[in-house]
């Protein structure tokens, strides 16, 4: 853990390097001292087929950071800021960039091979 899920306007698939964004975030988190190694980091994007937001341009990227409990508020803030910084760098012309932090509670089940 952590998992980062980025929902975004569908047209960003064609106009921005979303794989590069995923790679940047993965590298930032995999090497972070508050993360238990690279095997625990997951980053993915999901295109929204329809949306309407209150800003122009009508484009967005919203990241959800899923964490297991136990990190300090300072570390949680730092991890959220890493994501917002990466979104801002990779998607400078997008209308809305947001990050939400969500704690996962036990039982959290996983299978790793």
Residue 113, pLDDT > 60, answer no
Residue-wise pLDDT for 48-85, tens only, equals 999 999 999 999 999 999 998 889 999 999 999 999 99
Q: What is this structure's pTM?
A: 0.91
Residue-wise pLDDT for 5-54, tens only, equals 999 999 999 999 999 999 999 999 999 999 988 999 999 999 999 999 99
- State percent of the chain over pLDDT 90: 83
Q: Where are the beta strands (DSSP E) in the chain?
A: 3-9, 42-48, 60-67, 96-103
CATH class of 3-103: alpha beta
Query: Quick one: average pLDDT of 98-103?
Result: 94
Indicate the domain borders of the chain: 3-103
What's the helix, strand, coil split of the chain in %, to 5? 35, 25, 40
């Amino acid at each position: 853990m952590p998992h980062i899920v980025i929902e975004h306007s569908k047209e960003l698939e064609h106009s921005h390097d979303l794989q590069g964004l995923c790679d940047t975030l993965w590298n930032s988190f995999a090497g972070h001292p508050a993360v238990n190694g690279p095997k625990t980091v997951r980053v993915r994007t999901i295109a929204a087929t329809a949306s309407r937001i209150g800003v122009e341009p009508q484009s967005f990227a919203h990241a959800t950071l899923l964490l297991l409990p136990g990190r300090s508020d300072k570390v949680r803030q730092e991890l959220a800021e890493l994501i917002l910084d990466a979104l801002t760098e990779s998607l400078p012309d997008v209308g809305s960039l947001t990050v939400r932090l969500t704690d996962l509670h036990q039982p959290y089940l996983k299978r790793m091979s």
